[in-house]
Chain A
Amino acid sequence: MKLNQKLKEYWHKLGSPRWFYEITTNWVTFFGIGALLLLVTGLVWGLAFAPADYQQGNSFRIMYVHVPAAMVAQSLYIGMGVAGFIGLVWRMKLTDVAIGACLPLGMVLTALALFTGGVWGKPTWGSWWEWDGRTVSTLVLLFLYIGIYALREAIPDLDLRARASALVCLVGTVNIPIIKYSVEWWNTLHQSASFSLTEKPAMPVEMWLPLLIMGLGFYCFAGHQVLSRMRLEVLTREANSRWVAEVMLSKGAPAAVMQPSTTDTTDHGKD
């Protein structure tokens, strides 16, 4: 009962931009340090110390960037879908900030996954690009990201933009498994997933442990990036409020920063 109430309180507080800003101050540092440590460890281990593959030689090492990038790119899209659902049901403003923060990072990571996939494909499959099932579904993911990006650019009104992109994120997330499975059924050349929750990895431990570390590092990096972007956006949107002024003054911001922003926070109205 007590836990129940605590969770409920936490849930309601999460809707408050100010509370969000305050509580995430430590999280950003935590994720930032975590990302730095894990990524450096994982990269050095994976690139220098992990054994070379008996068939692919050293070219397999791009896996340590390719796999985490693809994983995080998908997770971010699903995260946007969850945020969209919460935003549509509970009308939390913060969820739109979250969608806006996940979007650019997810887009870049999807592009990175495609690029590193090409670099890996050249020595392994013999070509930069193959219309293989998982390559295509990743490309579709990129287009889903671009679609939401274009939609957000087209709607100036903050509230309407939030509702429209929440809806599209939700629809896209429902469709991701359908697209993924139908495309995989269509054509598959790609090796199967490196990690699964239910089975032991097919790789030896010296190979997959650095991959796991890189994966966690990418997730920490994404957490750091998304939270930092969200915090900046919260400050911009709440620029006229007293608590932002207090935060800025406590950081010793010059008076010029204190001018209320007239560009981003104003409601563009409904012409």
Chain B
Amino acid sequence: MVGALLLREWKILLRARASVVNPLAFLLLSTLLFAIAAPQLVAEASQQASGILWVLVLFTQLLSLDAMFRRDYDSGTLEQSLIMADVPFVAVLIRIFVQWLGTGLVIVIATPVIGPLLGLSWSAVPGTMLALLLGTPALSLLGSIGAGITVGFSRGGIILALLVLPLFLPVLIFGTDIVNAAGAGLNYTAQAYWLALISLAALIVSPFAALAGLRISVEMQ
């Protein structure tokens, strides 16, 4: 059951390549915008790189959240899988996981390219990748709550942002702090543990909350 669902989502991710390529393209494009609009901000070894990178990651996540349940919601598959699944929250968790594979993990892998483009020093890249690896799961998990509730709206974009961005704040704070510490050559173990804690706490709470939100959205259909 779990395996079949996972395989299905994985195949969709591979076949609909847009869900992997689009966030990455968006991230690169907005990096380019920053380079044009504020070249002094993205100069080499810039102090601002951590903040810009994390805000761009947050926006990329936010934009791809809507697609997390959209396709299956529109086709009715989602309703069926909520009814049929032995443990419905697993069906939700798998979708969140696959969304993270297509967005969070891709961002982590792309960091060695995008980070230096934003002026991040090379010594900070490993720390930044660790921060993103620990922080982006929390973004996908917390975001799934908002995505679940707003998937029933035809134009839920701004409401999704209003609901979800405040929840992202702790991740942003600890994430940028790790990047800054890594750039300055300081120890960032404590902040890394905090990020991991936030992701784990989100893992416990979010699938249930997202499931409750999806149940409401399914009734809205």
Contact = CB atoms under 8 A, between A and B. Distances in A.
Interface of A: 88, 140, 143-144, 146-147, 150-151, 154-155, 157, 160, 163-164, 167-168, 170-172, 174-175, 178-179, 182-183, 185-186, 270
B169 interface: yes
B28 interface: no
A66 to B, nearest CB: 22
Contacts of B167: 171-172, 175, 179
Contacts of A140: 166, 169
B173 A186 contact: yes
Contact of B166 (A160, A170, A175, A185): A175
B145 interface: yes
Given A167-B213, A174-B205, A270-B219, A179 B162 contact: no
Given A147-B159, A163-B216, A164-B149, A183 B166 contact: no
Nearest to B161: A147
Interface residues of B, number: 27
Contacts of A175: 166-167
A160 B165 contact: no
A167 B149 contact: yes
B162 A171 contact: no
A178 B198 contact: yes
Interface string B177-213: 1000000000000000000001001000100010011
Given A167-B209, A183-B169, A270-B221, A146 B216 contact: no
B170 interface: yes
Given A147-B162, A174-B205, A167 B216 contact: yes
Given A154-B156, A183-B173, A270-B221, A143 B162 contact: yes
Given A154-B156, A174-B205, A270-B221, A164 B216 contact: yes
Instruction: Choose among A144, A146, A147, A270 the residue with the greatest number of B CB atoms under 10 Å from its CB.
Output: A147
B38 to A, nearest CB: 19
Given A167-B145, A167-B212, 6 more contacts: A88-B212, A150-B159, A151-B159, A157-B220, A171-B145, A171-B205
B166 A182 contact: no
Nearest to B205: A174
A174 B145 CA distance: 13
B158 interface: yes
B166 A179 contact: yes
B219 A160 contact: yes
Contacts of B165: 143
Nearest to A187: B173
